[in-house]
Structure formats: C-alpha cells, structure tokens
Amino acid sequence: MLEFLGTVGANIIGLPGILGLALGMMTRRIWLGAVMGGLVGIFETLVFAHWDFTKFGASDLLIAVVIGLCAGSLGSVIRIKGATV
C-alpha cells in the first residue's frame, strides 16, 4: 500500500503532474490537454526506465498515464475558467 501511495505521490509532484498541468493550461480543449498529459506520463516512465520495458511494471505506467490525464484535464479546465473571469 505504501509503494502504491508513493508512486501516486511521486507522479503528482513529478513530471506527469506538473508538466501535464502546464501543457493542459496551453489549450482550451479538455481532450487535448488530457492526451498531452497522458503522453507526458508515458514519456516520463520510459525515460526513467532508460527505454527498457523490463525495468518498470504495468502499474507504474498506468498510474503515470492516469495522473497525466487528470493533470492535463485540470489544466484545461483552469484555462477555461480563468479566461471567463
């Protein structure tokens, strides 16, 4: 359980969370922000595994992609709401 929570927390304050949010704030299309965040999650996992698919688990990749999707969507929503104020 601690390993799962550590992985989630690390992805939130790591590249998928921060960069996904920033990329999501660049567009007003929620689906595009989510896709960019998900791609950051995939890219981050592969880079830190040195492009070797045997060095990470499917759960690590899944968590990174989900966090990236959520962060990108949140960034787009922030952009939409911020533009209407």
- Grouping H, G, I as helix, E, B as strand and the rest as coil, residue 40 is helix
The length of the chain, given as a count of residues: 85
pLDDT for position 71:
95
**Alpha helical stretches, state H, 1-85:** 2-12, 15-24, 30-48, 58-84
For the stretch 12-71, pLDDT in tens is 999 889 999 999 999 999 999 999 999 999 999 999 888 888 888 888 899 999 999 999
Whole-model pTM: value is 0.87
- The pLDDT score that the predictor gives to residue 32 is 95
pLDDT value, residue 84: 73
